Amino acid sequence: MPLQKLKTLLKPTTLLPAGRGQSGQFNRKLSGPLLMLSANPPIFHLMDWGMRDKVPAVRRLFRYLKKRRAYFLYTCSWFKERPEQVAWVKKGFQRHTRQFPLHRFIVLCATENQQKVFSESGIEAIYCNQNCFSDESIYHPLPEAEKIYNAVYDARMSPFKRHCLAGKVSQLALITNIHDGKIDPNYARETKACLKNAHWFNNPFTDEFYKLKPSEVNRAINQCKVGLCLSAEEGAMYGSIQYLLAGLPIVSTKSRGGRDVFFDDDYVRIVEDHPEAVAAGVVEMAKCRISPVEIRRRTLTKMQVHRHRLIELVNCIYREENVRRDFASEWPHVACNYFVDYSQTVPEIIARIGNA
């Protein structure tokens, strides 16, 4: 069955479990943004930035597999639908396959249009939004949690996140991360000024800052009534699916990147790009009558469609390689939060492939 002919919609049956959790620390010399789905044949999920030269472990894996047919299911971490962006990805694949001709890349696309433009450029691609890999056993409603804050914004401290659009929200809470350990000083000053009355679950402007664990993120967002999504363009935005799995309604600006794939008009309000509109959206959605359990249920149903597409893709590869296995039965033992496992080092992966 050719990969191009994969069905765009597969009806889910029973919900697939999320699989094992993510653990361990990221060792840049030994790990990378990938997950091995199968040792024989070698199949991996790979985030786009793992192909950069600054990730030596991934380069080591590529070299080890130089004489092996290997499959890389590739996720774009940022919005990529413009012709020049797709051409850039294609050139990267072409450069790679000149050196490693037995390697095959298939792009997992966050939107239907992204799948269309990649396929039209000659790149194998399926519509499988990365947010379907969020671990629902981590993010879920906590009925006992008191709703202290009107809204929460879980976003790294970077200008594209546009924190000041939340400046008019009363009883605002924030969760953040610092990309590469650096904060733009101008953005830091702007954010502190416009959000001076907000509560930080982990304040990036103090010496006590630390990155919250996923379970701590879940506890934090469960103390809030509404989740905020304020960027105009990025990737699929992990925070958005975490809100929905925890049962929060959402206020979002218009966006490109794929977070809206799992949205529903009953509990998501799209607003204009100014603080007053965001604040008004929060007031409205804080009164949302759709229960957290129902928001989560509908979200899981949508996620399952994308998970089944991935399973059918892997099964298609199995058939092409004359492997008589069903990836659906392997999913619980393979899957982890967001399909990236930094605790699984490349030397361990290589050993598993060698023993397969």
Tens digits of residue pLDDT in 47-82: 999 998 779 999 999 999 999 999 999 999 999 999
- pLDDT value, residue 94: 97
For the cut 60, the answer to whether the pLDDT of residue 7 exceeds it is: no
Class of domain 149-299: alpha beta
AA letter at 35: L
Q: How far apart are CA 222 and CA 220, in angstroms?
A: 5
AA letter at 352: R
The model's pLDDT over 136-165, given as tens digits with 9 standing for 90+, comes to 999 999 999 999 999 999 999 999 999 999
- pLDDT value, residue 19: 45
Name the pairing type of β-strands 149-154 and 34-39: unpaired
AA letter at 259: R
Phi, psi of 38 (to 5 degrees): -155, 135
* HEC sequence for 64-115: HCCCCCEEEEEECCCCCCCHHHHHHHHHHHHHHHHHCCCEEEEEEECCHHHH
Bond prior to 33 in cis (omega within 30° of 0) = no
| Among the listed residues 247, 46, 226, 30, the one whose alpha carbon sits nearest the alpha carbon of residue 133 | 46
- pLDDT value, residue 27: 62
| Prediction pTM value | 0.92
For the cut 50, the answer to whether the pLDDT of residue 342 exceeds it is: yes
The model's pLDDT over 221-278, given as tens digits with 9 standing for 90+, comes to 999 999 999 999 999 999 999 999 999 999 999 999 999 999 999 999 999 999 999 9
The model's pLDDT over 75-125, given as tens digits with 9 standing for 90+, comes to 999 999 999 999 999 999 999 999 999 999 999 999 999 999 999 999 999
Q: How far apart are CA 350 and CA 64, in angstroms?
A: 8
Domain ranges of the chain: 3-134+303-355, 149-299
Mean model confidence pLDDT for the chain:
92
